Amino acid sequence: MELHMNGQHPSSQTPAQADRSIQPLALVLLLSLAAVLFFVGLGSLGLTDRDEGRNAEAGREMYETGNYISPTFNYEPRFAKPVFVYWLMSLSYHVFGVSEFAARFPSAIFGVGLILLQYLFVTRCRGPVVGLFGAAMLLLNLEIIGLSRMALTDSVLIFFTTLSLYGFWLGLYGEGRERHYLWLFYIGMALATLTKGPIGFLIPILAVGLYLWLTRSWSHFWRHGFPIPGLALFLLLALPWYLMMLNIHGQRYTTSAQGDTIGRFFGTMEGHGGTLLFYLPVFLLGFFPWSGLLPFAWYQAYRSWRDSKQSGALPPSQTSVLDVHPLPHALEWFTAAWVLGGLVFFSLSSTRLPHYIGPLFPAAAILTASYWNRCVTNQTTPGLRAAIHTMTAVGSILALAFAS
């Protein structure tokens, strides 16, 4: 049974729209390019970031001591990050030996996995052309390349939050057995929480909550989204390690964990501050060269939602948009809500770092790929000329920065 992921019934689809098949050659070329960008020279440079060194050493100590529950740094308990990335690094050390390459290998392999996930999802939802655009735009930007080549938690976190949100979308719009994709929503959140703490479930919850509110779909999700069993599965996967840490370290762990979560949100830590607008230039520079398209793509998604609301296409609040009929631009609304919710959350946080917004990049790539596809097929698409000028301006700024 075919998923109507683009919000259109089969009778209204053109042959090109109905084609959701994976193109093997495109996929091989895409993954080969990802492997080159993420793996070539991966261990040739020493650990350059302070967190890289701490994470790599914590993973090495886990590998050395065999203590797979309580991470350590300089053989003292390390509470700054949960355990999942240290498990991955320890496994990598077992396979490759202790080296910079081994420390960064989990980030690189999950980076490739993210590109594969992006291509498969967008191709299923929007066809092979937009699928290739969406995966290529996610791959070919400064931030994703950087994060996939560093011994940080972010590449793994982005993979699991993306898996969670794509599982939500596929399950929500699926039929029959396809509804079981929703379990990935809860599994992805649990593994993301084991990777980087509460942000692992906050990003998916913000995106999903905002989308369900905008489309008046809470009732549908409550009936078909397995919320109670899903919560039980999330707790079953994520909670045991936290309980073990609490049992081992007691109040010392809870105090440190509060400082690294609530403390980071309400107070500036380690000098990583900035204004409320901090992430706007970060997004433009980190998502370059596609960032010039993003504001216009987001605005077009907002306009289509607003027009649907004003025309009465959205149902009354007591019913669900999904109970009436799936709408053509729902995926763009979902990714726009994902970007907006995450950007507002990170902007309100007092501690700000450029790589924090990495989990928003898969959604940004879908938005820009859909918009770019419309621009290619229809050169009168609103905002096209302004988007090109924006890309040129951001590129000039980056060129001057690199030259300096």
Write out the H or E segment, with its range, that includes residue 76.
strand 76-77
SS3 state of residue 72: strand
Q: Which DSSP string do the residues of 183-240 spell out, in sequence order?
A: HHHHHHHHHHHHHHTTHHHHHHHHHHHHHHHHTT-HHHHHHHS-HHHHHHHHHHHHHH
State the alpha helices, DSSP H only, in 11-153. Answer: 15-18, 24-39, 50-65, 84-96, 100-126, 128-139, 142-147
Q: Is residue 287 part of a domain?
A: yes
Other CB atoms within 10 A of residue 10 CB: 9
Q: Is residue 241 part of a domain?
A: yes
Domain of 261, in residue numbers: 22-31+46-403
Q: Is residue 81 part of a domain?
A: yes
Tens digit of each residue's pLDDT, the chain (404 residues): 334 444 443 333 433 444 678 889 999 999 999 999 999 999 988 888 888 999 999 999 999 999 999 999 999 999 888 999 999 999 999 999 999 999 999 999 999 999 999 999 999 999 999 999 999 999 999 899 999 999 999 999 999 999 999 999 999 888 788 889 999 999 999 999 999 999 999 999 999 999 999 988 888 888 888 999 999 999 999 999 999 999 999 888 888 777 666 756 656 666 566 677 888 888 888 898 888 889 889 999 999 898 888 777 665 544 444 444 457 789 999 999 999 999 999 998 877 888 899 999 999 999 999 988 888 877 666 666 666 767 677 777 777 777 77
Q: Is residue 14 part of a domain?
A: no
Q: Is residue 393 part of a domain?
A: yes
From residue 353, alpha-carbon distances to 158, 274, 279, 349 in Å are 15, 9, 9, 10
Q: Is residue 16 part of a domain?
A: no
Q: Is residue 41 part of a domain?
A: no
Number of domains in the chain: 1
Q: Is residue 6 part of a domain?
A: no
Are the C-beta atoms of 152 and 51 separated by less than 8 Å?
A: yes
pTM of the predicted protein model: 0.89
Q: Which residues contact 60 (CB under 8 A, 6 or more apart)?
A: 89, 90, 93, 98, 103
